[in-house]
Structure 1
Amino acid sequence: MTAGDFSRGTFVGRIWRPDVQGPAVVVLRDGKLCDITSRDIPTMRDLLEKDDPAAVARAASCESLTTLDAVLEASVEGTGNFSRLHLLAPCDLQAVKACGVTFARSMIERVIEEKAAGDPTRAEKVRGRVTAIIGDSLRDLKAGSEAAAKVKAALIEEGIWSQYLEVGIGPDAEVFTKAPVLAAVGWGASVGLHPISKWNNPEPEIVLAVDSAGRVKGATLGNDVNLRDVEGRSALLLGKAKDNNASAAIGPFIRLFDETYSIDDVRRADLDLRIEGEDGFVLKGRSTMREISRDPLDLVAQTIGRHHQYPDGFMLFMGTLFAPVEDRDASGQGFTHKTGDRVTISNAELGALVNTVRLSTECPPWTFGMAALMRNLSSRGLL
């Protein structure tokens, strides 16, 4: 079991320490996780607020805790088990935000969900009609451009306009809150599906780590678990579709921007997805940031500014190209998760995020919130 090759670059994360009954900020050094938590760096938020967090993480004195291999083994289904050392999501006090409908191909699937009213049995017929009208004409469109406005007018005339096309090619990006602060789960944890959903899928994404001034300090991987039937019934159900117990996975580590990694690497990044079911089903997918309709820094600028501040920074899911249409069971019903599915999202520069699909009601409940974190840090003399 692996989370990737971390021999090059600066990787930081968070780990649960049962001996202090709280989290620690760690840096990966020579295959070992080293605790750099201190009064100067009590949280990941504080590290990312530094002008050069990579240099700070590399120079910080630390306590060697465990090897990467050992913590990976301990982290499988470790979420919620406070007696075991295990990886946490690498963010803590940051807001967890997400951008939707940022790729043309997945944007078409959102339109299909809406037109099918969340019914997978209707999706194939709707897909044929929508694709016949739209085709690949949106692939090279720059969102908010004059060309995009002309396409919008043409689609309205065809009677196929949708709110998803509006945020996909219009001037304003969709930005929503994916999870409460501290609610995201990390590598090896269960990811949760609301039990009412019968049509759902993973969303492999790159997640930016952004500080309170809007400066991107690094990137990691994320699974923006998606309930296609719930959101397809109504976009006003976005909160129910996106924010449930264990429905946001982030990790395994944040790769900080340094001389080896930058925003240009994010722009060129390719992501691979593998889903392995207990029934023997295997699905492979791929997403590339090269086809995103909005630049990552534009998404950041639409999230933070005079219009909205984040004093503890934020994590930003940037959307996905992946939208599975392969049939898993009945013909014409496409893909949906089954409990027990193992989801692996990987990227050569960021590693691999591995999680197992459960119902949100069966995942360990989220109990360690901000009050618990503040009390724990205070008891350890870190505040």
Structure 2
Amino acid sequence: MALHYSDGILLGRADVPGYDYPRIVTVRDRDLVDITAPGLAMVRDIAERGDAARDVRGAAGTIVGSVADVLANSAAQQPDPGVAKLLAPIDLQAVKASGVTFVVSLLERVIEEQARGDKLRADALRGEILGLIGTDLSELVPGSEPAMQVKAALIERGVWSQYLEVGIGPDAEIFTKGQPMSSVGYGAEVGLHPVSRWNNPEPEVALLVTSKGDIIGATLGNDVNLRDVEGRSALLLGKAKDNNASGALGPFIRLFDSDFTLETVKEAEIALRVEGEDGFVLEGHSSMSQLSRTPESLVSATIGRHHQYPDGLVLYLGTMFAPVKDRDGAGKGFTHKLGDVVSISTPTLGTLRNRVNLSTKCPPWTYGASHLIRDLAKADLL
């Protein structure tokens, strides 16, 4: 499932020895190459120049190490400060996410809401709700007349949910996953809020979108989710989704070209593997072809005349993966344990790997947009 890193036009950011600020990097002949220069010092500026793939392909650069060595160092629990380490491959972009974009995700959100965060009730509710629906939701076009008929029937039966509203209704769920510069990259720890007792990874594709709404590339993402917190109330979405180190992206953005397009993304198969220190292994997949809304429609719901993003955005597209495999005994379902290693992979984008910890134990987020701008100005890169 690993990307051949000599393929594609890859764009990323890294901590490079000898520099106090993030460097812009790409991959050439299995080496990581620093291409930082005026106009090429931020992912935001590269995206906004008009032809990011051309600019990255043609940029001069300096080799900072092999991709294999940098990936290994990035994932080490004690990285070597003398070797480069990957960061999240975006900088000033807003970090947005779309939810309930797959049927499985839709049903699991309804179960979370109905169970009020009690995972022991989930299996029984799953069967009950599937019985009440009595139709294949994957055939429904959100906002269509048949979808509205299903909505009416569910209201009559007393099981209508806000999650069904955004799953089959006319409006997509779009929310803020985190602030610009807050995402973590390949190998970093991902954080769980310590109040949560029922949580899971969400393996996703995330799109890089310019301030004009153009989709120019994609990367992998882990939209870490607290099922019990969101299940208690959708008004707790911020607490469930936006915590220290709760959003991972990487390892690189793959920019669109003739060999990799949005159509490629639409057919991607996303594999997930969770390996626990207790020997537990969870595997699953998410098929982008089963999205109930197109990526273009999700981007249009996010950016347009109704909402602008002058530094562009990255948009998580949602996941169909909802883990139900029992971990600590029959009927107890899946939840993370500290030390879990989460790997999210697809052949066209590589593998995003992170280790699970509490958000209060992950390295605090201290380097923001103001720090980056000051450092780049000091280095005469703006």
Deviation (angstroms), 1:326: 1.1
CA distance, structure 2, for counterparts of residue 6 and residue 144 of structure 1: 41
Q: Is the 8 A contact 1:78 1:84 kept in 2?
A: no
Aligned residues: 382
Match of 1:353, SS state, is strand
**Tell me, which stretches of 5 or more residues in structure 1 are unaligned?**
none
How far, CA to CA, are the matches of 2:17 and 2:196 in structure 1?
35
Question: What's the CA shift string for 1:160-181, capped at 9, x where partnerless?
Answer: 1000000011110000000111
**Aligned-partner SS, 1:124:** helix
Q: How many Å apart are 1:367 and its aligned residue?
A: 0.7
In structure 1, distance between residues paired with 2:331 and 2:371: 47
Letter in 2 for 1:268: E
Asked if 1:73 corresponds to 2:72, the answer is yes
Q: TM-score, normalised to structure 2's length?
A: 0.97
Question: How far is the alpha carbon of 1:58 from its aligned partner?
Answer: 0.6
Describe how 1:36-185 pairs up with structure 2 within 5 A. 36-77=35-76, 85-134=84-133, 137-185=136-184
| Contact 2:64–2:84 (Cα < 8 Å) also in 1 | no
SS at match of 1:330: coil
> How far is 1:85 from its partner?
2.4
Find the counterpart in structure 2 of residue 197 from structure 1: 196
> In 2, distance between residues paired with 1:370 and 1:301?
26
Q: What corresponds to 2:311 in structure 1?
A: 312
Separation in 1 of the partners of 2:189 and 2:17? 20
Give TM-score scaled by structure 1 length.
0.97
The answer to whether the 8 A contact 1:71-1:86 is kept is: yes
* Equivalent-residue separation in structure 2 for 1:300 and 1:166 (angstroms): 19
Does the 8 A contact of 1:77 with 1:190 survive in 2?
A: no
Identity of counterpart residues, as a percentage?
A: 57
- How far apart, CA to CA, are the structure 2 residues paired with 1:305 and 1:316? 14
Q: Larger deviation: 267-276 or 74-83?
A: 74-83
Distance 1:310 1:163, change over 3 A: same
Give the residue type in structure 2 aligned to 1:194. H
Instruction: Tell me how far 1:17 sits from its aligned partner.
Output: 2.1
**Alpha-carbon offset, residue 50 of structure 1:** 2.4
1-structure distance, mates of 2:316, 2:158: 31
Q: 1:356 to 1:227 in 2, by over 3 A?
A: same
Q: 1:228 to 1:80 in 2, by over 3 A?
A: farther
Give the match for residue 277 of structure 1: 276
Partner of 2:233: 234
Match of 1:130, as an amino acid?
Answer: I
SS across alignment from 1:87: strand
- Listed as ranges, the matches of 1:296-311 within 5 Å are 296-311=295-310
SS at match of 1:366: coil
In structure 2, distance between residues paired with 1:135 and 1:93: 45
2:137 partner SS: coil
CA positional deviation for 1:73: 1.7
CA root-mean-square deviation:
1.5
Aligned partner of residue 240 in structure 1, secondary structure: helix
- Cα distance in 2 for residues equivalent to 1:100 and 1:83: 40
1:63-105, CA deviations, whole angstroms, 9 ceiling, x for partnerless residues?
2111101111211257999776210000000000000000011
Contact 2:2 2:347 in 1 (8 A): no
Deviation at 1:134? Answer: 2.3
Closer, same or farther: CA 370–229 of 1 in aligned 2, 3 Å: same
Map Cα deviations across residues 245-268 of structure 1 (whole Å, 9 max, x no partner). 100000000010001110101111
Q: Aligned equivalents of 2:7 and 2:80: distance in 1?
A: 31
Query: Is the contact between residue 269 and residue 288 of structure 1 (CA under 8 Å) also seen in structure 2?
Result: yes
Q: Relative to structure 1, is the Cα distance of residues 240 and 83 closer, same or farther in structure 2, using a 3 angstrom cutoff? A: farther
CA distance in 2, matches of 1:81, 1:372: 23
AA matched with 1:39? P
C-alpha distance in 1, partners of 2:151/2:17?
A: 55
1:255 corresponding residue in structure 2: 254
Distance in structure 2 (CA, Å) of the matches to 1:74 and 1:234: 40
Deviations 1:282-329 (A, max 9, x none): 010010011111000000000000110000000000000000111111
Q: CA deviation at 1:59?
A: 0.5
Shift of 1:35: 1.2
CA distance in 1, matches of 2:285, 2:135: 18
1:139 match: secondary structure: helix
Quickly say closer, same or farther: Cα 1:25–1:78, change in 2 above 3 A: farther
1:227 to 1:311, Cα distance in 2 relative to 1, 3 A: same
Looking at structure 2, the residues matched to 57 and 26 of structure 1 have their Cα atoms a distance apart, in angstroms, of 9
Paired with 1:107 and 1:79, the residues of 2 have a C-alpha distance of 39
- Given that 2:16 and 2:64 are in contact with CA atoms closer than 8 Å, whether structure 1 keeps it comes out as no
Q: Supply the distance in 2 between the matched residues of 1:80 and 1:364 (Cα, whole angstroms).
A: 13
**Aligned counterpart, 2:266:** 267
